[in-house]
Structure 1
Amino acid sequence: MAAELDTPVLDNHMHLDPRHGRGMDAVEEFVRLGGTHLLVVNKPSWHLGVEADDPADFRAVFEETLGAVTDATELLPGRAWPVLGVHPGLISRLVDERGFDPDAARELMAGGIEVASEYVADGRALALKSGRPHYDVTEAVWEASNAVTRTAFERAAEVGCAVQLHTEASEDLTDLAALAESVGLDRGRVVKHYAAGRLEGPVPSVMSEKDRLERAADTGAPFLMETDFVDDPEKPGMVLGPKTVPRRVRWLLEEGYDDAVRRAHVETPAAAYGIDTEATLTE
């Protein structure tokens, strides 16, 4: 079905893995359904075969992501942007499987954030990715994870970008919003990936399921839409497939949520990331 939509359509959190997964086939599917813009987040480093011992080791992950973004932009009516950082789940891999203590894991991961911020500073990446585990961990690991997140907020404030957060499921993350503001980063530039429809603190990037999107639309507050497509051939369609955001935009418009669509795909991307999804459709 042709899917002309009179609006930009941004998936705020998608992974692309041309080496192992569907790669550009997923982008083409997104475009066929009406998608125009992507924020492409690097996969967890170990999923790309990188077992980091030094912050510089993350560069291989970031460079691979940049390559996927370049290829995706050639296919999109708009463009793609990279979001780079260190997945918070890495701390468990380091501590539980590789013998790091929490402080050493924190130092390595914070160093990876520093490297990612260099890509933002020189204009090759749009935003940073950080956060804390979404599962139970020891107090030492929790504190180390929050310290890594603080580093991400500090670097984002310095280079002038947003931070996408991977965290526990919650509708109240005011502690992280306050932490960001304490180091000079506006909470409007803190984005909670995999959010439900309501959230206190950061900007919610809402998983594109109808019930979550209705809640977000009805709040009147800023929000984004995402799939968290993981592009893993062993997990096809996980979490949501690349068709989902354009399909849900069409559904929202049919339900009369025109203002919410504009918030999610034009106004909030501009406020959180400084990107213009309308102008980039005509470049």
Structure 2
Amino acid sequence: MRDLGTPVLDDHLHLDREGARGIDAVREFARAGGTHLLVVNKPSWHLGVEAETGADFRAVFEETERIVADASEELRGRAWPVLGVHPGLISRLVDERGFGPDEAADLMCAGLDAAAEYAAEGDAVALKSGRPHYEVSDAVWDASNRVLRHALERAAETGVALQLHTEATEDLTDVAAWAEDAGQPPERVVKHYASGTLAGVTKSVMCEKDYLDEAVDSGEPFLMETDYVDDTDRPGAVMGPKTVPRRVAWLQERGDDEAVRRAHVETPEAVYGIDTEATLD
């Protein structure tokens, strides 16, 4: 097991115990030098849950809690859950299940309410929400933004961070303003799948070298992620579990130790309230 001399956190990935690599992916991450994970629940329908009520999402959250506990057993550090409702659900509800946009938004908000109950008990360090990254109707877009604003309110109430899945953009100052209105510090809102430049909220940078160059040069807080999906039909997608440790080693070889500390110690503490140093064996 490689020791890179620092905590190494993958800020956003998915794990699946059934029909995918699951804990084997965690072991691969750990062998490469990875120490900590933020495990985001898979989209509910990927786990066979076609929710009718907010409570129906609990099966998804419970499965995520179980695999997080298993992952922590394999790491020098530990894993934490991020729980919520994937914003792409609105299209599934509207296009495939006959929901109206507002009715779909109500169900998704109820799912976020269920996730917030876990967060309030200390069983999640962040909620997950967002809005579609693809073209949708104005009605679906407006309903999605209502869900996002509800997630900001629930994150503020429970005192946790919020991870967002959004359109490709380098400007989320609109969301930052909504966060302030909700009482959620914008720096505790994270855009997952970010490039190296982002205004408004904290960026969780996909581990492309060009993006990391931008993030390091910015001097701003940032996190690093793979968005590994753990799907046997798409092995290694989006990035494989060894990627973050390998990129940390690459940054160290360049002398960017301060940036490594920023991404893997300072920003996780500021955003999620987690201590990646104290939780190392």
Using the size of structure 1 for normalisation, the TM-score is: 0.99
1:279 aligns with 2:274: no
1:262 aligns with 2:261: yes
Which residue does 2:141 correspond to in 1? 142
> For 2:203, what is the secondary structure of its paired residue?
strand
- Structure 2 CA distance for aligned equivalents of residues 215 and 96 of structure 1: 38
- Structure 1 CA distance for aligned equivalents of residues 103 and 19 of structure 2: 30
Equivalences for residues 146-165 of structure 1 within 5 A: 146-165=145-164
Which residue does 2:180 correspond to in 1? 181
- Structure 2 CA distance for aligned equivalents of residues 203 and 167 of structure 1: 13
Which residue does 1:245 correspond to in 2? 244
- Structure 2 CA distance for aligned equivalents of residues 125 and 189 of structure 1: 14
Could you give the per-residue CA deviations for residues 23-57 of structure 1, whole angstroms, max 9, x where no partner exists? 00000000000000000000000000000111111
> For 1:75, what is the secondary structure of its paired residue?
coil
1:96 aligns with 2:92: no
Which residue does 1:204 correspond to in 2? 203
**Residue type matched to 1:204 in 2?**
K
Using the size of structure 2 for normalisation, the TM-score is: 0.99
- Tell me how many residue pairs correspond in the alignment: 281
> For 1:279, what is the secondary structure of its paired residue?
coil
- Structure 2 CA distance for aligned equivalents of residues 256 and 97 of structure 1: 51
Cα shift at 1:255: 1.0
**Alignment RMSD:** 0.6
Cα shift at 1:162: 0.3
Which residue does 1:8 correspond to in 2? 7
- Structure 1 CA distance for aligned equivalents of residues 50 and 19 of structure 2: 17
- Structure 1 CA distance for aligned equivalents of residues 82 and 19 of structure 2: 19
Could you give the per-residue CA deviations for residues 166-193 of structure 1, whole angstroms, max 9, x where no partner exists? 0000000100111111110000100000
Which residue does 1:231 correspond to in 2? 230
Which residue does 2:104 correspond to in 1? 105
> For 2:279, what is the secondary structure of its paired residue?
helix
- Structure 2 CA distance for aligned equivalents of residues 13 and 43 of structure 1: 11
Equivalences for residues 14-29 of structure 1 within 5 A: 14-29=13-28
Which residue does 2:194 correspond to in 1? 195
> For 1:281, what is the secondary structure of its paired residue?
coil
**Residue type matched to 1:210 in 2?**
K
Cα shift at 1:126: 1.1
- Structure 1 CA distance for aligned equivalents of residues 176 and 54 of structure 2: 26
- Structure 2 CA distance for aligned equivalents of residues 250 and 181 of structure 1: 36
- Structure 2, unpaired ranges of 5+: none
Cα shift at 1:124: 1.1
Cα shift at 1:209: 1.0
1:127 aligns with 2:126: yes
Cα shift at 1:3: 2.2
Which residue does 1:44 correspond to in 2? 43
